[in-house]
A = this chain, B = another copy of it.
Amino acid sequence: MSGHLAVVGLGPGDARYLSAEAQDALASAQALYGYAPYLDRLPARAGQSRHPSANREERTRACAALTHAAQGARVAVVSGGDPGVFAMAAAVCEEIETGPQSWRALDLTIVPGITAMLAVAARVGAPLGHDFCALSLSDNLKPWEVIEQRLDAAASAGFVIALYNPVSHARPWQFGQAVERLRRHLSAATPVVFGRAVGRPDEDVRVVTLEGADAAPVDMATLVIVGSRETRVIARAGRSPVVYTPRAAAKVSA
């Protein structure tokens, strides 16, 4: 008897973004684990148990789901966006590496989803249309100096930068400091996109510049895309502007 654990990406929030593979994985699970608001998005199913947990409890949640699956059950852990991008898949892998050998025998499936930067980018055009990086601003699990080094490296080499976890209640200053750091490399006119709750009723997507980026409202659910030197804005009469990064990069970066 080998249990099954699926780590399932729900996409950015609306069921329209869910893949058929994710729907199947959710429908066939005997037990669902996840952050409570994510579980609340899913329809109740007869014979399927639910195990909600708080936001910061990734490790406990992963252990509980692995333990349950190792009893021979079909278990799904749900994750916002894509489970492989700053989400539950890495947390589950960490526990498999350090946990009992029986967890390595589990049938493990990661079901990808549309991660926040892709959803936010799609709303404004194609800001990730050329080389880009994804960087978490949370210094809970890495030193702030590492984050600054990565901001420097990415901006000076010409990557567009998608910032995950820009701030939280416990980390109020990180985003402002990151913006200051990026100003060393990028002009004040660099386009910056803020996106939140894409596909949900409270969706909020704004296009500003690096000059005003630290004045824009930002919270832990906001995804920020900072353009490169190449990123462009197309004004449109009566419509929101289009932001995109051309496929060609002619200039040699500093």
Interface residues of A, Cβ cutoff 8 Å to B:
11, 14-21, 24, 58, 82-86, 89-94, 96-97, 104-105, 108, 110-115, 118-119, 121-123, 125-136, 141-143, 145-146, 149-150, 152-154, 156-159, 232, 234-239, 242, 244-253
Among A132, A143, A244, chain B packs the most CB atoms within 10 A around the CB of A244
Smallest CB separation, A216 vs chain B (Å): 22
Q: Kindly state the separation between the CA atoms of A113 and B252 in the bound complex, as whole angstroms.
A: 31
Q: Indicate which residue in B92, B112, B125, B236 contacts A114 across the interface (CB closer than 8 Å).
A: B112
Smallest CB separation, A120 vs chain B (Å): 9
Total copies of this chain within the assembly: 2
Question: Assuming the A-B contacts A89-B126, A131-B133, A153-B156, are A112 and B119 also in contact, with contact meaning beta carbons closer than 8 angstroms in the complex?
Answer: yes
Question: Assuming the A-B contacts A125-B89, A134-B133, A136-B130, are A96 and B249 also in contact, with contact meaning beta carbons closer than 8 angstroms in the complex?
Answer: no
Q: Kindly state the separation between the CA atoms of A58 and B15 in the bound complex, as whole angstroms.
A: 31
Question: Assuming the A-B contacts A122-B110, A128-B85, A159-B150, are A93 and B237 also in contact, with contact meaning beta carbons closer than 8 angstroms in the complex?
Answer: no
Known: A11-B19, A90-B129, A133-B134. 9 other contacts (CB 8 A): A82-B118, A84-B126, A89-B122, A93-B125, A93-B246, A94-B247, A115-B118, A131-B150, A133-B159
- Point out the residues of chain B lying under 8 angstroms from A86, CB to CB: 129-130, 247
- B20 contacts A18, CB within 8 Å? yes
Smallest CB separation, A173 vs chain B (Å): 20
